[in-house]
């Protein structure tokens, strides 16, 4: 492995959260962005081809080393680590709406889900999956919510645009709905 790949590996191992490309580049002032990208590829390949128990993934605006899914059960059985609780349908629906419509106010989320969403919004906010991004103009100036980088991490995706576009969904909204 190249010295840079080793340095990146050390930094990624030392962190439980993803590290941004900029922070990785800042590890060594002499390297270019291309060299960092190359070293990340080298590290990923090393993990994949030498058959490691961990893998390198890009998520939530950064890079992170995670264990491979095949070992999860054994690790959990041995009580060395445990998986976070699964999100309920209500939480996922609320997240789905906020992810696609952000910034969006509580009233609009409730209109789409057809139920009161106060408790769910609170839980999502406490888990830092959503945040208050500001307030809308107009009547009552309601608070607006958006998703956070932790939301992307929760899904292990790099960016919101990795989710299917609204017009790619099987049930496309008819234009009338855009009122």
Partner 1 sequence: MDRLGESAFLVQVGEFSGPLDLLLTLIRDEQIDIYDIPVARIAEQFLIRIKTLGLDDAADYLEMAARLIRIKAQMLLPRREGEEGWDDPRAELVRRLLEYQQVREVVDVLDRLSEDRRGKFARGYMPQQFTSPAPAAAPLALSLPELFAAVDRVLRLAKKPTIHDVVPRALDVEGAIAIVRDILALRQSCRWRDLVSSGSQPWEILSVLLALLEMAKRGEVKLRQDRAFTEVEINGEPASEAA
Residue numbers 19-58 binding its own copies by CB under 8 A: 19-20, 22-23, 26-28, 46, 50-54
Judged by beta carbon distances under 5 to 8 A according to partner kind, the member of partner 1, its own copies, none in contact with residue 108 is: partner 1
Structure tokens of 127? 């888990």
Structure tokens of 173? 């909204």
Q: Report the site for its own copies in 113-132 (rule: CB under 8 A).
A: 118-119, 121-122, 125, 132
Give the residue from 17, 16, 34 showing the smallest Cα distance to 25: 34
Give the residue from 63, 79, 8 showing the smallest Cα distance to 39: 8
Q: Rounded to the nearest whole angstrom, what is the least distance from the CB of residue 104 to its own copies in the complex?
A: 12
Query: Whose Cβ is closer to partner 1: residue 1's or residue 87's?
Result: 87
Query: Whose Cβ is closer to partner 1: residue 16's or residue 32's?
Result: 16
**Cβ atoms of residues 144 and 105 within 8 Å:** yes
Angle at the Cα of 82 from the Cα atoms of 164 and 161, rounded to 5 degrees: 15
Q: Residue 132: in which H helix or E strand, if any?
A: strand 130-135
Binding site for its own copies (CB under 8 A): 1, 5-11, 13-16, 19-20, 22-23, 26-28, 46, 50-54, 65, 67-68, 71-72, 74-75, 77-82, 106, 118-119, 121-122, 125, 132, 134-135, 141, 143, 157, 162, 164, 168-169, 171-176, 178
């Amino acid at each position: 492995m190249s010295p840079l790949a080793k340095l990146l590996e050390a930094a990624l191992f030392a962190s439980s959260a993803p590290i941004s490309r900029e922070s990785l580049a800042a590890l060594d002032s002499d390297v270019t962005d291309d060299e960092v990208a190359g070293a990340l590829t080298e590290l990923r390949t090393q993990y994949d081809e030498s058959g490691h128990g961990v893998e390198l993934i890009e998520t939530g605006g950064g890079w992170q080393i995670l264990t491979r899914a095949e070992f999860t059960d054994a690790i959990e059985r041995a009580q060395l680590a445990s998986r976070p609780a699964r999100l309920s349908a209500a939480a996922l629906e609320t997240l789905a709406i906020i992810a696609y419509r952000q910034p969006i106010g509580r009233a609009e989320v409730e209109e789409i889900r057809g139920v009161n969403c106060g408790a769910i919004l609170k839980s999502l906010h406490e888990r830092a999956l959503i945040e208050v991004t500001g307030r809308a103009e107009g009547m009552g100036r309601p608070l607006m919510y958006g998703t956070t980088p932790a939301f992307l991490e929760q899904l292990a995706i790099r960016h919101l645009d990795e989710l299917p576009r609204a017009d790619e969904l099987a049930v496309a909204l008819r234009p009338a709905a855009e009122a």
